Amino acid sequence: MQDRGSVDAADFDDFYRAEFPRLIVLARGLCTPTLAEDVAQEAMLVALRRWRFVARLERPDLWVRRVCINLAVSSFRRRMVELRAVVRLTGRSEPEPLSDATEELWEAVRSLPERQAQAAALRFAHDLPVADIADVLGCTEGTVKQHLSRARHTLGSALGRADEGDAE
Amino acid sequence: MSLDSRVRSAVDETLRGSLDVDQGLHALRRTRRRRSAGRIAAGAAVVALMLAGVLVDRHDSRPEPAPTPGQVHNGVMFATSPGRLLAPVIGQRLPGVPLTVDDAGPLSFSADGRRVFYAQHRIVYASDVDTGERTPLAGCPDKVCVAAVTGDGDEVAFGRGGRIEVHPLSSSAPIVDFRVPGPVRAPVWAPVWGPDQRRIAFLGGEYGRRGPWLSVLDTRTGSVRRLARVGQTSGEQPAWSPDGSTIAYVRHRAGEQYAPVELMTVPSDGGRPRRVHELGECCIRDYAAVAWSPDGRLLAATYHSPRSHYVGGPVYTVRPDGTGWRLLLRGLYDSRLAWQPVLTERD
């Protein structure tokens, strides 16, 4: 009989390697740099715990992004992650800072209204199409387009550039 | 620099500065082991308390009325506690009830309450509740054992991708394969046989924004009836009423950030879903569970509140009409509930 545990573990490892880096980018758009890695890691921990269920989903990647977003925006859950981060970071330095321009961009994304920030972070981190963002956020494609359009407008103003780009 | 190019450059820089993936994976597994150990310890503590007979907040300590001859009564109830340990919620541990079960496999009593069906290490077993004698029924065909056993133990249904396979156990009849409507890759999950041993309730069809459907497959005709959306489910098993007329299920209200989880019922032959009770915000980390009492008068439910730092939650009971919501037992239970029917002799 095939060892279920090892098969599951191999599947999860591949999933983790493919998904985790951009999950951190997603979290950077939604919470502070100190917390981003922990929020992404916590989302992966949820996926690992439920892997037998998650692995059978058509899009486990969208599922874990939704969990990451929920963790990043829920004040209670974020507090719990924050507590763990404080413990984890005791005795070690803060994450290496990114360049000012990058920090400024993520700060601007984080200061957007919650849903706009989520839509923008998903778009930026994963380059997701509108339909997938709608799936993750649980809203219609029209709403996502509206969030993205407003987010781009706000970000353009906040970052001092009138973006003439491809607003959806 | 345009916004798009600035975003691309920020994403690239963030990716470069991220935690090393293999290091992250190692840390994740270490954390998982540490927390699992904590959960197992918590589960063991719960079991120890149960075995010691230290039951807290039993909502109804009055003696049960004398059983009416020829009727079905409620026997013991079990729930999984963190660490997937099965712990008694009502009554004492029975010799035939295992300590752990596969989490997606069956966990149900036979119609006469004398056997319990479960899966361990991808084998489906029937175990005599009194003697503990265990009989293997079937091997699970997939690495995740999504299965359900009929009340008489004569057939087992396996969810296999977007299909349900029904394996006869006591005859040489062929395996019957039912294709579930919907995207091919949408898996069947949480199948449960109805008391008529003909219909199977399950989750599946699609896992889009509004989550999968609770559907019923009629194994005689092969028809599938979609009953209700269950939202962004964690795969909680539905529960049939003893008369087979109604199905209780957990609905995650779709499309909301902190989606409340609701205990719902729906007629098994189609009709309007009805909310029995709002369980509260749930369950990003854990599962809810629902069971119907064998006498048909109560629903039992457990869920984990995200306000709690612990995994698992208490067990509650409520009447199917939504009245009488009560705490049955404090503790840390999650994901599975099974309630034993007890048949009394006729005069």
Nearest C-alpha neighbor of A117 from the set A71, A151, A90: A151
**Are residues A107 and A89 part of one domain?**
no
pLDDT band at A134 (very low <50, low <70, confident <90, very high): confident
The nearest CA of chain A is from the CA of B285 a distance in Å of: 6
**Is A41 part of the contact surface with chain B (CB cutoff 8 Å)?**
yes
- Chain A residue numbers with beta carbons less than 8 Å from the beta carbon of B143 are 2, 4, 7-8
Query: For B4, phi and psi rounded to 5 degrees?
Result: -60, -45
Q: What is the CA radius of gyration of chain B?
A: 21
Q: CATH number, domain at A115? A: 1.10.10.10
| Domain edges within chain B | 30-343
Contact A31, A78 (CB under 8 A): yes
**Are residues A133 and A62 part of one domain?**
no
What pLDDT, on the 0 to 100 scale, is given for residue B39?
A: 63
- Chain A residue numbers with beta carbons less than 8 Å from the beta carbon of B104 are 52-53
A33-49 and B21-51 helices cross at what angle (nearest 10)? 60
Contact B264, B272 (CB under 8 A): no
Q: Dmax over Cα atoms in chain A, in whole Å?
A: 62
- For testing contact with chain B, the best of A56, A104, A112, A122 (most B CBs within 10 A): A56
pLDDT tens across A88-124, in order? 554 444 566 778 888 888 888 888 888 888 899 999 8
**Are residues A50 and A66 part of one domain?**
yes
What pLDDT, on the 0 to 100 scale, is given for residue A9?
A: 61
**Are residues A23 and A4 part of one domain?**
yes
DSSP state letter for B56 = -
pLDDT band at B67 (very low <50, low <70, confident <90, very high): low
| Yes or no, beta carbons of A77 and B306 under 8 Å apart | yes
| Yes or no, beta carbons of A163 and B257 under 8 Å apart | no
CA quadruple A105, A107, A113, A114: dihedral, nearest 10: 100
- For testing contact with chain B, the best of A37, A53, A81 (most B CBs within 10 A): A53
Of B18, B24, B143, the CB nearest to A8: B143
**Are residues A1 and A82 part of one domain?**
yes
| Yes or no, beta carbons of B10 and A101 under 8 Å apart | yes
Percent of chain B residues topping a pLDDT of 90: 33
pTM of the model: 0.63
Q: How many CB atoms lie within 10 A of CB A164?
A: 9
DSSP state letter for B121 = T
**Are residues A86 and A152 part of one domain?**
no
Size of interface A-B (CB pairs under 8 A): 140
The domain total for chain A is 2
A73's CB contacts (< 8 A; 6+ apart) are: A30, A114, A118, B257
Which span out of A88-92, B239-243, B340-344 was modeled with the highest average pLDDT?
B239-243
> From CA A154, how far away is CA A73, in angstroms rounded?
20
Angle (CA) A59-B334-B239 rounded to 5° is 80
Which span out of B37-51, B175-189, B237-251, B295-309 was modeled with the highest average pLDDT?
B237-251
**Is A150 part of the contact surface with chain B (CB cutoff 8 Å)?**
no
What pLDDT, on the 0 to 100 scale, is given for residue B171?
A: 76
**Is B181 part of the contact surface with chain A (CB cutoff 8 Å)?**
no
Query: Residue A9 belongs to what H/E stretch?
Result: helix A4-28
Nearest C-alpha neighbor of B144 from the set B106, B174, B98: B106
Considering A95, A123, A149, which residue would you say is the last residue of a domain? A95
- Chain A residue numbers with beta carbons less than 8 Å from the beta carbon of B1 are 161
B150's CB contacts (< 8 A; 6+ apart) are: B156, B193, B197
In sequence order, what are the beta bridge partners of B179?
B163
**Is A19 part of the contact surface with chain B (CB cutoff 8 Å)?**
no
pLDDT tens across B94-117, in order? 888 888 887 778 889 999 999 999
Q: What is the mean pLDDT of residues A15-43?
A: 86
Q: What is the mean pLDDT of residues B248-277?
A: 82
**Is A157 part of the contact surface with chain B (CB cutoff 8 Å)?**
no
Which string of DSSP letters, residue by residue, matches B259-324?
PEEEEEEEETTS---EEEEEEEE--SSS--EEEE-TTSS-EEEE---TTSSSSSEEEEEE-TTS--
pLDDT band at B320 (very low <50, low <70, confident <90, very high): very high
**Are residues A78 and A111 part of one domain?**
no
> From CA B83, how far away is CA B72, in angstroms rounded?
32
Among B59-63, B121-125, B134-138, B190-194, the least confident range: B59-63
> From CA B305, how far away is CA B206, in angstroms rounded?
27
**Is A14 part of the contact surface with chain B (CB cutoff 8 Å)?**
no
For B51-183, strand residue ranges (E) read 72-81, 85-90, 107-109, 115-120, 123-128, 134-139, 147-149, 155-160, 163-168, 176-179
Of B27, B186, B234, the CB nearest to A53: B234
Per the structure, the complete domain to which residue A158 belongs is given by 98-168
Helices (H) and strands (E) in chain B, counts: 2, 23
What pLDDT, on the 0 to 100 scale, is given for residue B128?
A: 93
DSSP state letter for A54 = H
What pLDDT, on the 0 to 100 scale, is given for residue A60?
A: 86
**Is A79 part of the contact surface with chain B (CB cutoff 8 Å)?**
no
Question: Is pLDDT of B208 > 90?
Answer: no
**Are residues A112 and A159 part of one domain?**
yes
**Is A135 part of the contact surface with chain B (CB cutoff 8 Å)?**
yes
> From CA B158, how far away is CA B165, in angstroms rounded?
5
Which string of DSSP letters, residue by residue, matches B169-194?
SSS-PPPEEEEPSS-TTSPPEEEEE-
- In the three-class reduction of DSSP (H, G, I as helix; E, B as strand; rest coil), residue B204 is classed as strand
Considering A95, A122, A143, which residue would you say is the last residue of a domain? A95
What pLDDT, on the 0 to 100 scale, is given for residue B111?
A: 92
Considering A95, A112, A132, which residue would you say is the last residue of a domain? A95
**Are residues A103 and A89 part of one domain?**
no
Contact A24, A43 (CB under 8 A): no
Which span out of A132-136, B118-122, B251-255 was modeled with the highest average pLDDT?
B118-122
- In the three-class reduction of DSSP (H, G, I as helix; E, B as strand; rest coil), residue B92 is classed as coil
Q: What is the mean pLDDT of residues B28-39?
A: 72
- Chain B residue numbers with beta carbons less than 8 Å from the beta carbon of A53 are 104, 189, 234-235
B48's CB contacts (< 8 A; 6+ apart) are: none
**Is B21 part of the contact surface with chain A (CB cutoff 8 Å)?**
yes
CATH architecture of B30-343: 6 Propeller (2.120)
- For testing contact with chain A, the best of B5, B7, B101, B145 (most A CBs within 10 A): B7
**Are residues A114 and A91 part of one domain?**
no
**Are residues A91 and A104 part of one domain?**
no
Q: What is the mean pLDDT of residues B36-54?
A: 61
> From CA A141, how far away is CA A130, in angstroms rounded?
6
**Are residues A91 and A11 part of one domain?**
yes
Nearest C-alpha neighbor of B50 from the set B97, B108, B107, B90: B90
**Is B122 part of the contact surface with chain A (CB cutoff 8 Å)?**
yes
